[in-house]
Amino acid sequence: LNADVADGAIHTEILTSDGRKLEGYTKEESKVIRGDDLRHPVGWKTNRISDLPAGTYWLRIYLENDATVYALTLEKGEQNGRP
């Protein structure tokens, strides 16, 4: 996630294709994103995107204060040494 979160925070959650929150992937379970970086990792406290079964999902991004998102890149495969 390319974002500037110098004075705020970003939280994320994954929703099913019909808009329902997924347990383990809610805003409350997401890792807080802060700082200015071109490649913020998006994640949750106990789950990974790769744990989800194949399907269609929505990613909801919550911006607090002056947080700004510039781009989102989804990559398949290993990230930070984890599949």
pLDDT in tens, 8-59: 999 999 999 999 999 999 999 999 999 999 999 999 999 998 899 999 999 9
pLDDT in tens, 54-83: 999 999 999 999 999 999 998 765 555 444
CB distance 3 to 40 below 8 Å? yes
Q: Which two tokens stand for residue 24?
A: 């383990």
Buried b (16+ CB within 10 A) or exposed e, 41-80: ebbbeebebeeeeeeeeeeebeeeeebeeeeeeeeeeeee
Q: Of 7, 25, 5, which Cα lies nearest the Cα of 16?
A: 25
CA gap 58, 7 in Å, rounded: 26
pTM attached to this predicted model: 0.83
